[in-house]
């Protein structure tokens, strides 16, 4: 049980770590970098990363729920 908690802790820290990502397509990057205001380009990049991360988080939550539900049923059948 202790090993499982350690894995969950490491996974949580990994998911919450901040890694600078560049997620713009080539056309968006070219248009935004041609202007002098780089804060707009950073804002668009952050928005893209945010929109990309949400589906992965939701699928992970659903997977954890299904896993726990399946294990609870399997444990009840053994007893």
Q: How far apart are the C-alpha atoms of 58 and 16, rounded to whole Å? A: 15
Contact 44/32 with Cβ under 8 angstroms? yes
* Residue 22: pLDDT over 70: no
Which H helix or E strand runs over 7?
A: helix 2-16
pLDDT tens by residue, 25-54:
777 767 677 777 777 777 777 888 888 888
* Residue 72: pLDDT over 90: no
Spell out the residues 6+ positions from residue 29 whose beta carbon is closer than 8 angstroms to its own. Answer: 41
* Residue 55: pLDDT over 70: yes
Q: Measured in whole angstroms, how far is the alpha carbon of residue 23 from the centre of its chain?
A: 14
* Per-domain boundaries in the chain: 38-79
Contact 22/45 with Cβ under 8 angstroms? yes
């Amino acid at each position: 049980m202790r090993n499982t908690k350690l894995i969950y802790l490491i996974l949580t820290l990994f998911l919450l770590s901040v890694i600078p990502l560049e997620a713009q397509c080539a056309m968006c990057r070219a248009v935004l970098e041609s202007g002098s205001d780089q804060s707009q380009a950073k804002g668009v990049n952050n928005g893209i990363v945010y929109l990309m991360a949400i589906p992965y988080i939701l699928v992970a939550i659903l997977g954890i729920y299904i896993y726990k539900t399946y294990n609870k049923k399997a444990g009840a059948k053994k007893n």
